[in-house]
Structure 1
Amino acid sequence: MAKLQQEVLQGTKKVKSINQFRWTFVFIILIGAVVNYLDRANLSVANPLISKEFGLSPLQMGVLLSAFLWPYALANLPAGWLVDKIGPKKMFTGAIGSWSIVSLLTAFTSSYSIFYTLRVLLGISESPFFPSATKAINTWFSKKDRGTPLAVVNTGSQIANGIAPPLLTALMLAFSWKIMFFVIGAAGLVVMVVWWCIYRDPSKLELIEINKDEQEEVQIQSTEKKIGWGSLFRYKSTWFMIFGNFGLVYTMWTFLTWLPGYLVADRGLTILKTGWIASIPFLMGIIGVPLGGIISDYFIRKGYQPIKARKIPLVCGAILAACAVIPIPYVSGVNAAITLITIAYFASSVPTGVIWTLATDVAPKNMVASLGSIQNFGGFIGAALAPIVTGAIVQATGSFEFVFLVGAVLLIVSAVSYGIFLKKPIEVK
């Protein structure tokens, strides 16, 4: 009896030790995600000032806003493969170090062409971040537990989007947009050093403890055939994930890149007031992202299959967001418009909490980061098109009306792709 009690006590201590460590690095990744998205949001916040300084038309500004997104989308394809091959520690370190240096260099540019080039490099250097985070969490958490930490990590983007308008606007107006870029770059280098010093892969004993409730599944996975990166494109599930994420991320990046400009140009707000009001939808995203992970983990514990459990918050969020987006251009008051935008952004952020977790459920074990990156590639093709298409629509029509209608249609496409067509994990034959 005493021996049994001692074994239980040792097991409890071991679980507690693992939990303390893995949630420590989840917190580090969360801070990295905040810095990551501040680097993306800084140009959107500085949109009115940089447009004026460089004399840019709406379409030209849309092209500059998308300069980060095209390379980021394309670089996701090799980034996921490299994370699966090299591991999350080295790839995370290299990514955050590279993008921080790019941000520092941006603070010293005064040329449109150099600015554009640096935004391209920023996109390439940021591409391994979320695949690295997904790989690390997939390794340290079991299937029934990983939805919540992945949702927490993805919340970093919403925290950044929420604090970016007031924080970065204050920095920009107190000093300059160049100082704003410099401060964010320096913050990234600090996170890089902390990650390198703390993160490690789990030991064999830790892996056994982490997956003790799924040993039969782990045994099956260890004997299954490996799949190559290119082979993922032969499966319908991969393509439905690409199309589904395209619609979600397109709409979110319409808000991320053009919301300050929309509030100034279409709703007549000042830059200072825009900095505070534009943060409201993004602050609600801080609630939406973890909610998606919590809901999906709840349904898994209730006995739902993982893919079905992830699809519940994903599809419901996309449909609710579409319903909120449609009436935005037709309401006259600023308060009504902000309320609808807030509902739309909150609802579209709920799926974000399960997108990367869904990749761990659909992908073969050796291709988790790769499939997650391919899905993210689809999303950021949408993100890259969003500012350009928005700029072109505004320039051609002088209105944002069709901007929101396009977003609503793509959200429905996303709900259909995930909800109806994505049904089962990739089976290696």
Structure 2
Amino acid sequence: MSQSAAGAFGAAKSTKRTRVRFVILALLAIGTLINYLDRTVLGIAAPVMTKELGIDAAIMGLVFSAFSWTYAVAQIPGGVFLDRFGSKLTYFLALTFWSLFTLLQGLAVGVKSLLLFRFCLGVSEAPCFPTNSRVVSTWFPQHERARATGIYTVGEYLGLACFAPALFWLMGNFGWRTLFVVVGLVGIGFGIVWWMMYREPDQSKSVNQAELDYIAAGGGLEKRSEKATPFSWSNVGKLMSVRQIWGAAIGQFAGNTTLVFFLTWFPTYLATERHMGWLKVGFFSIMPFLAAAVGVMFGGWISDWLLKRTGSASLARKAPIIFGLLAASTIIGANYASSDAVVIAILSFAFFGQGMVGLGWTLISDVAPKNLMGLTGGIFNTCSNLAGIVTPLVIGFIISATGSFFYALTYVAAAALLGVISYVFVVGEVKRVEID
């Protein structure tokens, strides 16, 4: 009897699911945190850097925007590379090179060299989010993807929320160039960690069959096709004709407009428009990013909860994003507030809403054709990240022309409302798209 009981216990234990997918998710979260530190450390350095290098507001807007020029252009090539070579190699190369070009920004001697390194940074970071989306779709069943997306996306905001005071201190004591060197070296080190730890589900020695079956039953991809899908402009045209994809891309452009403001001009806004000292800027800059992190997590949780309760992917994915965009539009209220505390509260609520818009990547993972996930993610990210080109330039020209952020915040609010219109009238039903 005892041997039989022991055998039964061993069999039960052997069928218990492993949780390797959450280790993979932790890697994505850390990589995304480093990704956003690398692209946004320029915003922290900007007020000091502009004085040392003699850069005015309009030119600084150009420098902020330069990253997104190549970032947007490289999305489709990055997606094609991802579909052909897989997540492990793509993410390793992207992470290593974007960290290297971050480090090199610390050696910039003028606008030309700074622009060159920002261009290279944009190319290198292009495959990041398509890879994230592919990994989540591969490793997670559908009903866990929104929360998984929220967890890795929170790295966009927690990086600056947690490290902004330390980065301002580092800049104050060692100069702005040190910021780029330190953050770049951290990213290169993590690139090695990724290469050593990441595996596809069918290649992992840690995952058991019970977890693989669980992922597959929920619509995950058990393994990547041995035959890579060749790139064709015909596929690009077919994907671009799908209303779910281009409608979501407009909505993500709208949400990214708010995000880009906080990642580029926000420290300058606090320092020049609100006349805060550096210690106060470092403290107050934490609040909106923490709020955005909460928005990301809340959006993921409420989306998966709605999916379980209603069974409707359209309601579960779209409703939180629409609410988030409406919340982001309230940023215009900061134009009419005199108290710094009230301004930070308004900005925090707006950024909280923007955090929920990160669900757009979950929606794309739900609708993308299984054999074209990299290309779909690249198209989506190309369109959505046009905000990274437009927003810094528009805000830079507004400040240069008016000396104020009033119309800049108005522009950000109007873009958020455009996103609401797109999700309400364009996106339509959220379902997997089939492309011949």
Normalised by the length of structure 2, the TM-score is: 0.90
Q: Do the aligned partners of residues 422 and 372 (structure 1) sit closer, same or farther apart at CA in structure 2, a change above 3 Å counting?
A: same
Report the Cα distance in structure 1 between the residues aligned to 2:309 and 2:300, rounded to whole angstroms: 14
Q: Does 1:331 align with 2:337?
A: yes
Map 1:10-89 → 2, pairs under 5 A: 10-12=14-16, 15-16=17-18, 19=19, 21-89=20-88
Report the Cα offset of residue 58 of structure 1.
Answer: 0.8
Q: Would you say 1:390 and 2:372 are equivalent positions? A: no
Distance 1:241 1:404 in 2: 23
Partner of 2:353: 347
- 1:371 counterpart residue number: 376
In the aligned structure 1, how far is the partner of 2:352 from the partner of 2:150? 14
Q: Displacement of 1:373 after TM fit?
A: 2.5
Does the 8 Å contact 2:325/2:416 carry over to 1? yes
8 Å CA contact 1:45–1:164 kept in 2: the answer is: no
Deviation, structure 1 residue 238: 2.0
Given the alignment, which residue of 299, 303, 307 partners 2:306?
299
- Cross-structure match for 1:251: 258
* 3-state SS in 2 of match to 1:145: helix
SS at match of 2:418: helix
Cα deviation code 1:219-254 (max 9, x no counterpart): 9xx9xxx89344211222222122111111012211
Letter in 1 for 2:175: S
CA contact (8 A) 1:161 1:279 kept: yes
Question: How far is 1:307 from its partner?
Answer: 3.1
Shift of 1:387: 1.0
Gaps of 5+ in 2: 204-208
Identify if the C-alpha distance between structure 1 residues 86 and 269 changes in structure 2 by more than 3 Å, giving closer, same or farther.
same
Q: CA deviation at 1:182?
A: 0.5
* Kept after mapping to 2: 8 A contact 1:307/1:362: no
SS at 2:74's partner residue? helix
2:214 aligned residue (201, 210, 216): 210
Once residues 208 and 276 of structure 1 are traced to their aligned partners in structure 2, the CA distance between those partners, rounded to angstroms, is: 44
Aligned residue among 397, 404, 424 for 2:409: 404
Instruction: Classify the secondary structure of the residue corresponding to 1:269.
Output: coil
> How many residues are paired up?
417
3-state SS of 2:142 partner: coil
Residue 136 of structure 1: aligned partner: 135
Specify which of 9, 13, 18 is matched with residue 9 of structure 1. 13
For structure 1, the 5+ residue unaligned runs are none
TM-score (normalised: structure 1) = 0.91
Partner of 1:277: 284
Opposite residue 48 of structure 2, the aligned amino acid is L
- How far does residue 261 in structure 1 lie from its aligned partner after superposition? 0.8
What do residues 384-418 of structure 1 show as CA deviations (whole Å, max 9, x unaligned)? Answer: 21111001111112221111111111111111212
Question: 1:136 & 1:5 partners in 2: Cα distance?
Answer: 33
How big is the shift at 1:138? Answer: 1.0
Shifted more, 369-378 versus 338-347: the winner is 369-378
Post-superposition offset of 1:164:
4.2
The equivalent of 2:206 in structure 1 is none
Contact 2:201 2:212 in 1 (8 A): no
List per-residue Cα deviations over 1:107-151 (Å, max 9, x = no partner).
Answer: 222122011100110011011111112111211111111221111
SS of the counterpart of 2:342?
A: helix
Query: 8 Å contact 2:68–2:389 — kept in the other structure?
Result: yes
What CA deviation, in whole Å up to 9, does each residue of 1:142-189 have, x standing for no partner? Answer: 111122111111010011131343121111111011111100011001
SS at match of 1:350: helix
* SS of match in other structure, 2:143: coil
Structure 1 residues 142 and 266: CA distance shift in structure 2, 3 A? same
Kept in 2: contact 1:42–1:164 (CA 8 A)? no
Counterpart residue number, 2:92: 93
Distance 1:307 1:371, change over 3 A: farther
What's the CA shift string for 1:303-337, capped at 9, x where partnerless? 33223211121111111221x21221111121111
Report if the CA contact (8 A) 1:155-1:286 is conserved. yes
Task: Measure the CA separation in 1 of the matches of 2:400 and 2:102.
Answer: 29
The equivalent residue for 1:260 is 267
Q: How much does 1:4 deviate?
A: 7.3
State whether residues 328 and 349 of structure 2, in contact with CA within 8 Å, keep that contact through their aligned partners in structure 1: yes
The alpha carbon displacement at 1:218 in A equals 7.7
Q: Is the 8 A contact 2:95 2:191 kept in 1?
A: yes
- In structure 2, the partner of 1:118 is 117
Deviation at 1:381, TM superposition (A): 0.4
Distance 1:168 1:259 in 2: 15
Letter in 1 for 2:339: G
Contact 2:99 2:184 in 1 (8 A): yes
Alpha-carbon separation, structure 1, partners of 2:73 and 2:183: 24
Mapped to 2, the partners of 1:123 and 1:100 lie a distance apart of 11
